[in-house]
Structure 1
Amino acid sequence: MHIADMTMFYAPSSGGVRTYLDAKRRRLNATADIRHTLLVPGEAYTHHEDDHRVNVPAAPLPFSNGYRFPLTRRPWRRALRDVRPDLVEAGDPYMVGWAAIASARELDIPLVAFYHSDLPTMISNRLGNWSRPLINTYIKRLYAHYDRVLAPSNVMAQRLERLGIEHVRVQPLGVDLKTFHPSLRDASVKTELGLSEETRLLVFAGRGSQEKNLHVLLEAMRKLATGEHQPYHLLLVGSSMPTQVPDNVTVINHFCPTAEIARYFASSDALLHAGTQETFGLVVLEAMACGIPVVATRAGALAENVPEGCGMLCQPLDSEDMMQSILALFENDARKMGQKARAHVERHHDWNIVVQGVTHHYQELLGISTTARASVQHG
């Protein structure tokens, strides 16, 4: 079984899409009777057989930290003719998605899409609500050509089904349980931040984009600064973060390597997330894998990923409720909640479990018996 993945969302600073693809291709290429090839944008057409990767020429996207935007289907169709997979999965709804449709039809192979981003919401946030019906129509037209559409959460699957898209399945994403681990807890992090040992350290990591609603976190921290309780401090890590913040907030305003993020997570006491439009919320599960609980909004996919006993959910866009949820978390046994959070991720979001689930979709579409699963060869 030869699987090809293709996407434009693969750059040095890429987030969840690249994490998913790298985790999947490592495991599939280590599995008996399965081969995986990754097609991603590059400067020129090059086939890296040792890395199971094909670079497809695409124009650089200015001010995008290394992304490239495909302008034509032709080189992607050529790449799939050269690779000749048994099944192709497309990871973005733009030119690559249409190229995958044409190639799957030409090669007579099954076609899968992974719906990583909520495109109608993302575009309407920038252009206004008038654009949503147009994008909904576009999405429905695109995915009508696919044999299966994978969505990372129930809330995203339901949105696709409401548009009339068929063959939608929920396929959660995973976490690297070795990279994100409670053993990375480092008491010196608080020292580096100039904090006392009794300060409760809260953390958020990601892009400081509008939909993350960081103003809610900042207002909650202002409220916490005035109460008679143990001190709280928030660490914001990532690009495009706010620069004017309360005294009990520290900002690391640049992209940090994964290992550094994992150290910050494991060394904090809880993760905060005020986003209302998350399609999955991988950062929440990464923090939970590090053994810390989560305070998040009851919106989007976050409500699915923070089960009872692993943290607290608060009302969207409500800094007062966010503050009260933080206090309630620590009035309970926050450390025990963190342990439950780690156990939940181990049971449901280990990448080995996730990739087995994805492989099951491929086997169904190819008519391969799933009674005898291939096993990953760990070295």
Structure 2
Amino acid sequence: MMYAPRSGGVKRYLTAKQTWLEKSRPDIRHTLVVPGARTRVDGEGLVTVAATRLPFGDGYRMPASLTRWETVLRLLQPDIIEAGDVFVPGHAALEAGDALGVPVVGFCHTDAAALAALHLGDWAEQPTFNFWAQAYQRFDHVVAPSQHTAARLAEAGVDRVTVHPLGVDTELFHPARGDRAKLFKRYGLSPDSRLLVFAGRPAREKNIESMVAAVEHLGDPYHLLLIGAGREARYSSRVICADYEREPQKLAGMIASCDAFIHANEHEIFGLVVLEAMAAGLPVIGPNKGGVGELIDSTVGQHAEGAEPQALAEAIEALFARDVEAIAQVARRRAETRHGWDITFDGLTRLYSQLIGRAPRRAPLALSA
């Protein structure tokens, strides 16, 4: 469900996996099954299933036909299915897995309960968590991209979990792509300005307003560049809103041209864009919670004590009181040595090879109101 024209980390993970498999494991046939305007083979390795476009959903679609999704999956005759969510596509994956006798892996990309509480109120958290828990208990295995996510799954009673952090294309996201002088000239910034950047969807959980408030509170010399996240918003001249960038090379160049990256989501499952910023040679400011909190420490950036504007502002000042250039170099080295896609996908293909051939161990379907 999180695959859309303007979607972020999940889509980049899926397309990176497909590209890596084509290059490194041509013996594996990999097919993406995603929502689209109609049901069709939409290119080599890509099948779209008709789904209604969500109003104000930035291109996202809501899968509704369980039968349609299950039929497509069964026709593909896979040896293993990776399900990216627990709703209709995930349910269809489990049904298809039962019919085909193949393992189904749930890849946990979102904390549905935390999002429900944020968007609907605290009353929605527990019922959503119960549904989320029951759904993941049915998978033969679950992949978590962070220890934070694994802990949430353990709390939900899910015990067949492997932690596989996501990775980054260290050739695409590289300090050499940066052109600070050109970017600063484009936006009319003086050379002594300090430019923070965030790239992502304008979703509530990203806490865009908190980042904006922190920079506006600090004043000179700080500015904030929002790539894709500030569309149609009206901020002060201290905040620059750039359109969503479809070209990966241009996005990588924009990020590498800034001074530091900032992320304010305390409930992020992983935070792939944080790795991309580190690979581009940027120190990262982010909360000390969630997936972002796991990715950064004092050697590659600066933890904030929370996602509130004051906490972010203090972290920004603390970072720039240190040797930012040295921190940036360490951030780049960490991305190279720990988070290349080769490391991620080698581990994932080994896990999936082990699961193929095992008898599925799914729990029976349990529904609760």
TM-score, normalised by the number of residues in structure 1: 0.88
Q: Is the 8 A contact 2:286 2:303 kept in 1?
A: yes
Name the CA distance, whole Å, in 2 between partners of 1:267 and 1:20. 23
Name the CA distance, whole Å, in 2 between partners of 1:37 and 1:321. 43
Q: Is the 8 A contact 1:202 1:233 kept in 2?
A: yes
Q: How does 1:80-159 map to 2 (within 5 A)?
A: 80-159=73-152
Q: Which moved more, 1:26-35 or 1:295-304?
A: 26-35
| Structure-1 residue corresponding to 2:299 | 309
Is residue 2:31 matched to residue 1:46?
no
Provide the secondary structure at the position in 2 that maps to 1:261: helix
Name the CA distance, whole Å, in 2 between partners of 1:266 and 1:240. 19
Q: Is the 8 A contact 1:47 1:53 kept in 2?
A: yes
Q: Is the 8 A contact 2:38 2:49 kept in 1?
A: yes
Q: Is the 8 A contact 2:102 2:357 kept in 1?
A: no
Is residue 2:66 matched to residue 1:73?
yes
**Relative to 1, partners in 2 of residues 1:251 and 1:41: Cα closer, same or farther, differing over 3 Å?**
closer
Q: 1:198 aligns with which of 192, 196, 205?
A: 192
| Structure-1 residue corresponding to 2:154 | 161
| Structure-2 residue corresponding to 1:255 | 244
| Structure-1 residue corresponding to 2:365 | none
Q: Is the 8 A contact 2:108 2:143 kept in 1?
A: yes
Q: 2:278 aligns with which of 269, 288, 293?
A: 288
| Structure-1 residue corresponding to 2:321 | 331
The superposition leaves residues 128-148 of structure 1 with CA deviations (integer Å, 9 ceiling, x where unpaired) of 111111111111221221111
**Relative to 1, partners in 2 of residues 1:203 and 1:83: Cα closer, same or farther, differing over 3 Å?**
same
Unaligned runs of 5+ in 1: 1-7, 369-379
- The alpha-carbon deviation at position 307 of structure 1 amounts to 3.0
- The alpha-carbon deviation at position 262 of structure 1 amounts to 1.5
Name the CA distance, whole Å, in 1 between partners of 2:62 and 2:209. 32
How high is the sequence identity, in percent, across the aligned residues?
39
Is residue 2:49 matched to residue 1:59?
no
Q: How does 1:268-287 map to 2 (within 5 A)?
A: 268-287=258-277
CA RMSD between the two structures = 1.9
The superposition leaves residues 300-350 of structure 1 with CA deviations (integer Å, 9 ceiling, x where unpaired) of 111111133101101103433422322222222111111110111111221
Kindly provide the amino acid, as one letter, of the partner of residue 154 in structure 1.
Q
| Structure-2 residue corresponding to 1:373 | none
Provide the secondary structure at the position in 1 that maps to 2:31: strand
**Relative to 1, partners in 2 of residues 1:225 and 1:67: Cα closer, same or farther, differing over 3 Å?**
closer
**Relative to 1, partners in 2 of residues 1:113 and 1:179: Cα closer, same or farther, differing over 3 Å?**
same
- The alpha-carbon deviation at position 41 of structure 1 amounts to 2.2
Q: 1:224 aligns with which of 209, 213, 218?
A: 218
Name the CA distance, whole Å, in 2 between partners of 1:56 and 1:188. 42
| Structure-2 residue corresponding to 1:13 | 6
Name the CA distance, whole Å, in 2 between partners of 1:136 and 1:238. 30
